[in-house]
Amino acid sequence: MTDEPELDPNSQQAKEIAGKSPMRIALGRLARDKIAVVCALFVLFFIICAVFAGPICSLFGVSLDTPLASERVDGLNSGLPKPAMGPPDGPFTWDHPMGVAPRTGQDNLAYWLHGCRASLMIATTAAIVASLVGVVVGLLSGFLAGTVDKVLSFFIDMFLTVPFLLAALTMAPILNERFNTSDNYGTIQKVSLIVILSLFGWMGTARLIRGEVMSLREREFVQAARVIGMPTSRILFKELLPNLAAPIIISVSLMLPAFVALEAGLAFLGIGVTDGVSWGQMILDAATPLFFREYPQYLWQPMLGVVALVLSLNLLGDAIRDALDPKTRR
Amino acid sequence: MFAYVVKRLISGVLVVTLVSMAIFLLFWYGPSSPAQPICDRETSNRCTQAKLAVYEKTLGYDNPVYEEYGKFVKGIFIDRTLTIASSEYECTAPCLGVSFRTKQPVKEELISRMPATFSIAIGGAFLYLLFGVPIGVAAARRRGSVADKALVSSFLFISSIPYYLFALLTWLYLTITFEIPLFSDTGYFSPISEGPWKWFSGLLLAWVALGIFGCTQYTRFTRGAMVEALSEDYIRTAKSKGLPARTIVYKHGLRAALVPVVTIFGIDFGTLLAGTIFTERIFEIQGIGWWSLEAVYGKDLPVVMATALFSAVVLITANLLVDIVYSILDPRVRLS
Amino acid sequence: MHVTGDAVLGENKKERLDSMKRNKPLALVAGAALLTLAACGGGSSDDGETGGGEEREFGGQEGGTKDAERQGPAPEVEGAAAGGTITVYLPGDPGPDTLDPTGGWSVTGNSIQQALTSRSLTQYIRDEEGQPVLVPDLATDLGTPNEDFTEWTFTIRDDATWEDGQPVTAEEVAFGICRSLDSEAFPSGPGTEYSKHYFEGAEDYEGPYTGKDPKCEAWDGISVEGQDITITMSTPFPDMDYWGAFMAMGPAPLGNASKPPNYGQKPLANGPYKVESYKPNEELVLVKNDQWSGDSDPGRHQYADEWVFKFNQDQAKVDEIMLSGNSDSQTAVSTALGSGNYNDANSQLGERLVQQTSQCVSTLTPDYNKIKEIEVRKALAYAYPYEDVWISGGEVPGVTRTYANSVMPPGMAGKKEFQVDGEQIKYDPEKAKELLAEAGYGDKPYEITMVYYEVDPLAKDAQDQITKGFEASGFSVKAIPVQESPYNIWLDPDNKVNKTLNLRGVNWCSDWPSGSTMLPPLLKGEAVYNTAFFDEASVNEEMDAIATMPIEEQADAWGALDERIMTEYFPIIPTAFRNDLFVFGEKIGNPTGDGSIGAPNYKDLYVMQ
């Protein structure tokens, strides 16, 4: 993050548009940005899919249940779906609007919707946790300065040098061994994924906040608060934090698409979510030469899900950053 | 300058030490018994408590953790002999242990994997610059034109796609759909024993995927840096002096613009050298990233540890070098 | 040997599992089925290579035959030519961890080394009908037992040589056999199962390395007189001649030259090829051994100049190469075919696609102590959705997996074609519910606890099918995901997960074509792989009794016992017999399988010139 935006309520520009909070200004700018609106609609679509995955499934009459494979796929035809199940060998059918998976006959729509849910849930939670950690570390580091800052900065740098993928790969089997007998194994797996993502995702936020705090610290209103003897915690949370809304939003908007992509990427490598309800695992299953040749939709469905979500989150994030940046002029 | 380098070196060593401790502890306390995987493997899944105890004892897992970590560190500098059950393995310094799967010294395997990963990294990084920088410069010169806008938005689009999906699609389309013979046999082939052409064609697909994806980012970096550089006062001065546009752009503008690009490039190149897991997985190139994945699947703890350490060392070194180079390239930066 | 296929109760594994060699669980190919097998050791069979057509069926199979008179050189393969390099792709198969002949107990390692580099007392050849025949190798005949099979004498031929030109001596053979008793140095070697169990005094002898007895002087179960080696047994061992076909029953250089683990990197060859280079899990290159003489060897040939074995290959990539017919594939062999490509391969390749029974059976093993009623065990058999499991596990029903009626695989001597319930047990949830009700469990679901290998998406999908079938049949299922080989859990009596299970599984392959390598390992009380914990005194006694019967009667006795166990107790649910598919390049001559071990017939392949 080289271009840390400076959000300063006392700046020249903010005074010009007096009467509006910086957030309202930013929202107004966003609403005028066509790309941002389209992306926001896309993101909204995915959120709706994720939140209402269950009802949408019952609306279409599909479910995550495993059918007997031989009812839906043809074992002598490479395990591809029977023609009655829709593509690739049959016509579209409302019974399975997105077709069924080869080999297992699971319904693609149900898995897609629930994969969307898993993806967004993990990414959102991890982004929130990571920002919390990042904000706390950044605040402490930036405000206390001195030795605390040196130590914390060292840890920020250290975590940045640990290769994330390798760390995740290393921890996955260990976590599994600890918890595989638990009844909540599926949940624990997701929680540990969130922990891993946040453990290696907070550094960017911390750096951003640290820089921001360092410049705010010398401001009059902070100096004033100090002089009147306000306790440090109060200064941090009452005086500084409200001024950090923009960088926090920006860092979350950067993290979300990255985490969506990483969640699917880890599932693609076979760690992360392993219960099959994940876009990454669907991609892994579909990315064989045979299925790609005979049944490309099977790959495109989860692939488009990941790409569209990551892309719209990324572009929306860019737009938010621009909107929040007082330097950009329209 | 010298003091700065020393300071950075010390902190680098400190980071490596801490990372190695963290990894060591993770493997020590993480699994219920760190000797379990090798015991299962060697005994055909008939690892009884008594046998497990033998493995734990010979691998030193009944000693305190700091003692074994001490031995590990000592092994980096002095040859040691490792014992696994009843077999002894010589391990020359720097000793990174013996692979649980192949029983080969980890160091030697690591070295034998390096050419593949380094080939990918060098080729990919070369393409980043080869295409990224000139296109970025060209776009900056024509800033605001239709071509510039189309380029910027299409590149933004590509670089927003997760890299592994981009690589996967590259592989599926070029080898499966279009069946381009040039790309049919991906993998690493030694340029010496199998010939340079085989080496080249085996890696080409990986380079293409890495190169296209990376050059979109470098185009954006370069364009941004160039736009900024061209708006500097000294460029205006040069223009008013009547210098030819070519000289202004390439001699004065590009020089300044390259500084941030080189910085990012250094870090990216380090990341590539540290192991390109997705690239090696998708194109089945048996380099360090591929090897570390295999080690994770096979619970080959010494190898996982070695690859993690290796990546950390490479990344730290890359960071350090970048900072030093930065100070040389940009006279405004004074290191302190 | 033994166990094969790693997966959940077996359906989906690419891996041979004898030793926990984990295959790479998630290659990009996850959808493809690999059929590499796991065992080692013999079995008679046929590879029904009925050529091109749609229907591939398994040729008639009969028990293995023996020919003690066979002498070198081996008859020339018709049309064979010398020269060329044969590349063998082994998709999803990491290959052996060591090349030490004493430590080898995997289909992959043994099939390659026994055919090409490492000779032993006896060996198999493939006869004109495709049947494996046991013939002499380093011994001049198939050995001479005494009356009750407690003493075997082999005469070592004097014209065999090592790759360095030195003759292979009887002392070296005796030393090699002695090494197989060191179960610390070779914990996953076959000696731990056979030498240790049958050889006199083996129990108390720790072996030349662990016992610090480098010349093997402390073990007197073997004696050498001139060219004669005599091994004494503690229990009758009628199958010693078959056991002699394992490379572990071959020579090793005396002293430090063969000290493990270094010897496993580059063992001294005495077969037609020697090791040029070996990268474990990656590549093995063999080149001609010019010291080998065809006259000394009744079974092997030396046609190709060089063999390159590429382990751990990506199934999809290998299939692409083999089906493309490009120049790389013409002199290549693949030991597996992805199930998705079966149709294409079947129509395109003709006789270059060889289907080979692997002498293996996949089973489910209900815990005999927890699931006491035979009705419940049968209900499980009816509740198992066989074809659905095969399909979702990436197998081709009827091709790579076929319905099984008992533990002994087809083609094994004495095997009886019977059906426990009169007809083949297939998926039938209603029948399963009836059986459960009969046993008094009609009211609420009968609880089943099992594990599955979650790292492999195919194993997970197969488990979903099993769960589905069981739940539709009146069971409730708790399936515990594990990230290690399920055998690690099943075989560890102290494992806390294992203690909760009431349904396990084993995939087992015979070591040689006799019921003695199928029934006792799986169903004798206390046997390691008896994960059902089936233990009936009368069955145990009969197993011991058969070993002392006259040799001609043993085969039928095993067959009869197989039937008796299944009909009376039904302690184990055979879910499938397993078959392998091999793909041969256009220029590979004599594309055939080796029925003794379930691998390509390396001994007789050549490159067409």
Summarised one tens digit per residue, pLDDT across range C81-97 is 999 999 999 988 888 88
The mean per-residue pLDDT over the stretch C170-190 comes to 91
Q: Which residues make beta-bridge pairs with C223? A: C230
What pLDDT score does C59 carry?
Answer: 38
> Lowest mean pLDDT: which of A162-171, B95-104, C133-142, C353-362?
A162-171
**Which among C187, C455, C490 has CB closest to B297?**
C455
Q: Where are the beta strands (DSSP E) in chain A?
A: 73-74, 80-81
Q: Is B181 on the interface with C (CB under 8 A)?
A: yes
At B277-321, the pLDDT tens digits run: 999 988 888 899 989 888 887 778 889 888 888 888 888 888 888
Q: Give the model's pLDDT for residue C167.
A: 94
Contacts of C187 in chain B (CB under 8 A): 42-44, 51, 85
Q: Which of C320, C338, C468 sits opposite A66 (nearest CB)?
A: C468
Q: Establish if B87 touches chain C: CB-CB under 8 angstroms.
A: yes
* pLDDT value of position C195: 92
Q: Token match 């306390």: residue? A: B29
Which residue segments constitute the domains of chain A, with CATH numbers given?
Answer: 57-64+107-328 (1.10.3720.10)
Would an 8 Å CB–CB cutoff place C23 in contact with chain A?
Answer: no
Judging contacts by C-beta atoms under 8 Å, the chain C residues touching residue B193 are none
CB pairs < 8 Å spanning A and B: 102
pLDDT score recorded for residue C123: 95
- Confidence category of residue C64, pLDDT binned at 50, 70, 90: low
Residue C187 to residue B51, Cβ atoms within 8 A: yes
Mean pLDDT comparison of B8-17, C133-142, C410-419, highest-scoring range: C133-142
Model pLDDT, residue C99: 93
Asked whether B120 and B203 are in contact (CB, 8 A), the reply is yes
Shortest CA distance from A176: residue in chain C: C483
Q: Helix A108-144 vs helix A34-51: angle between axes, to the nearest 10 degrees?
A: 120
Which pair of tokens denotes residue A241? 């934090």
User: Which residues 281-340 on chain C approach chain A with CB closer than 8 angstroms?
Assistant: 316, 319-320, 338-340
Residue pLDDT, tens place only, C309-343: 999 888 888 888 898 877 878 999 999 998 888 88
pLDDT at B330: 66
A residues 151..210 contacting C (CB < 8 A)? 173, 176-177, 180-181, 185
Among B38-47, C367-376, C417-426, the least confident range: B38-47
Asked whether residue B333 carries a pLDDT value surpassing 70, the answer given is no
B30: number of Cβ within 10 Å? 16
Render pLDDT for C494-513 as a digit per residue (tens, 0 to 9): 888 899 999 999 888 888 88
C29 has pLDDT over 60 = no
pLDDT at C3: 47
C-alpha distance from A38 to closest chain C C-alpha (Å): 35
pLDDT of residue C589: 92
Are A311 and B168 a contacting pair at CB < 8 A? no
Q: Residue C462 has which token pair?
A: 């197969």
Token pair, residue C315, equals 């199934």
Q: What is the pLDDT at residue A108? A: 93
Q: Which of C528, C565, C533 is nearest to C546 (CA)?
A: C565
**CB-neighbour burial class of residue B310 (10 A; exposed 0-12, middle 13-18, buried 19+):** buried
Give me chain B's average pLDDT, please: 85
Residues B151 and B159 sit within 8 Å (Cβ to Cβ): no
**Could you tell me how far CA C239 lies from the centroid of its own chain?**
16
Show which of residues 264-323 on chain B sit within 8 Å of chain A, judged by CB atoms: 271, 274-275, 277-278, 281, 292-293, 296-297, 299, 304, 307-308, 311-312, 315-316, 319
Q: Which residues of C touch A68 (CB under 8 A)?
A: 385, 388, 465, 468-469
Taking CB atoms and an 8 Å limit, are B85 and C184 in contact across chains? Answer: yes
- Strand-pair category, B80-84 with B87-91: antiparallel
Q: Which residue of A68, A180, A285 is in closest CB contact with C457?
A: A285
Q: Which of A4-13, B248-257, B326-335, C582-591 has the highest mean pLDDT?
A: C582-591
Per-residue model confidence (pLDDT) at position C356: 85
pLDDT at C72 over 60: yes
The answer to whether B125 faces chain A, any CB pair under 8 Å, is no
User: Most confidently modeled of B45-49, C489-493, C573-577?
Assistant: C573-577
For residue A292, which residues of chain B lie inside 8 Å, CB to CB? Answer: 172, 176-177
Per-residue confidence (pLDDT) for residue C350, from 0 to 100 = 86
- pLDDT of A128 reads 94
Nearest-angstrom CA–CA distance, B173 and B167: 10
Give me C553's structure tokens: 């009667």
Distance from CA of C425 to the nearest CA of B (A): 31
ipTM of this predicted structure? 0.85
At A222 the pLDDT is 85
B175 touches chain C (CB under 8 A): yes
| pLDDT score at C462 | 92
Chain A residue whose CA is closest to B169:
A287
| CA distance, residue B204 to nearest chain C CA (Å) | 16
Residues of A in contact with B160 (CB under 8 A): 257, 310-311, 314-315
**Residue C144 CB contacts under 8 Å (≥ 6 apart), including other chains:** C152, C153, C154
Residue B246, number of CB atoms within 10 A of its CB: 8
Is pLDDT at C39 greater than 50 in this prediction? no
User: What value does the mean pLDDT take over residues A255-265?
Assistant: 93
A75 and C CB contact within 8 Å: yes
Against chain C, the chains showing at least 3 CB pairs within 8 Å are A, B
Which pLDDT belongs to residue A326? 66
pLDDT at residue C586 greater than cutoff 60: yes
Q: Does C444 touch chain A if contact means CB atoms closer than 8 Å? A: no
Phi-psi region of C550 (alpha: psi -120 to 50; beta: other; left: phi over 0): beta
pLDDT of amino acid C548: 83
Subunits with 3+ Cβ pairs within 8 Å of B are: A, C
Weakest mean pLDDT among A3-7, B264-268, C137-141, C248-252: A3-7
**In chain C, what residues touch B45 (CB-CB under 8 Å)?**
3, 17, 19-20, 485, 487-488, 490-491
CB contact under 8 A, C340 and A78: yes
Give me the long-range contacts of A187-195 (CB less than 8 A, separation at least 24).
A189/A272, A189/A273, A189/A274, A189/A275, A190/A118, A190/A121, A190/A122, A190/A273, A193/A122, A193/A126, A193/A263, A193/A266, A193/A272, A193/A273, A194/A122, A194/A125, A194/A126, A194/A129, A195/A129
- Region A218-228: mean pLDDT is 86
Quick: pLDDT tens for C232-283: 999 889 999 999 999 999 999 998 889 888 898 899 999 999 999 998 888 9
Under an 8 A CB cutoff, do A78 and C29 touch? no
Whether residue A274 and residue C460 make contact (CB cut-off 8 A), yes or no, is yes
Sign of the CA dihedral running B92, B62, C207, C41? negative
Cβ contacts of C343 on chain A, cutoff 8 Å: 76-78
Instruction: Kindly provide the b/e burial profile for residues C123-161, where b requires at least 16 CB atoms within 10 angstroms of the residue's own CB.
Output: bbbbeeebbbbbbbbbbbbbbebeeebbbbbbbbbeebe
pLDDT, position C226: 92
> What pLDDT was estimated at residue A151?
92
Spell out which residues of chain B touch residue A154, defining contact as CB-CB under 8 Å. 11, 14-15
Domains of chain B and CATH, by start: 32-95 (no CATH), 111-329 (1.10.3720.10)
What pLDDT score does C27 carry?
Answer: 25
The pLDDT-based confidence of A181 (bands split at 50, 70, 90) is: low
Question: Taking the complete model, does pTM exceed 0.90, yes or no?
Answer: no
User: Does A1 score more than 70 pLDDT?
Assistant: no
Specify the pLDDT at position C178: 94
- Has residue A235 got a pLDDT over 70? yes
Which residue on chain C is closest to A175 by alpha carbon? Answer: C483
Chain B hits for C98, Cβ within 8 Å: 103
Mutate to test the interface with A, among B9, B110, B159, B160 (most CBs of A within 10 A): B160
CA angle A183/A189/A195 to nearest 5° reads: 135
C480: closest CA among B320, A140, C488, C472?
Answer: C488
Q: How far is residue C48 from each of residues C44, C60, C354, C372, measured CA to CA in Å?
A: 13, 8, 7, 40
From the CA of C473, how many Å to the nearest CA of chain A? Answer: 13
- How confident is the model at residue C61, as a pLDDT? 41
Q: Which residues of C touch B184 (CB under 8 A)?
A: 320-321, 324, 326
Percent of chain B with pLDDT over 70: 97
Question: How many Cβ contacts (< 8 angstroms) between chains A and C?
Answer: 116
Looking from the CA of C513 toward its CB, the CA atoms found within 13 Å total 28
Contact C28 A180 (CB under 8 A): no
Q: Is the pLDDT of residue A167 over 90?
A: no
C-alpha distance from A115 to closest chain B C-alpha (Å) = 17
Instruction: Establish if B89 touches chain C: CB-CB under 8 angstroms.
Output: yes
Q: Which of the listed ranges A20-24, A258-262, B22-26, B139-143 does the model predict with the highest average pLDDT? A: A258-262
- List CB contacts (< 8 A) between B41 and chain C: 19-21, 97
C512-570 pLDDT, tens per residue? Answer: 888 888 999 899 988 888 999 999 999 999 998 998 888 888 889 999 999 999 999 99
Confidence category of residue C4, pLDDT binned at 50, 70, 90: very low
Question: Looking at residue A310, what is its pLDDT?
Answer: 93
Mean pLDDT, rounded, for A190-199: 89
Looking at residue B324, what is its pLDDT? 78
Chain C: closest CA distance from residue A86 (Å): 19
Question: Nearest residue of A to residue C397 by CA position?
Answer: A75
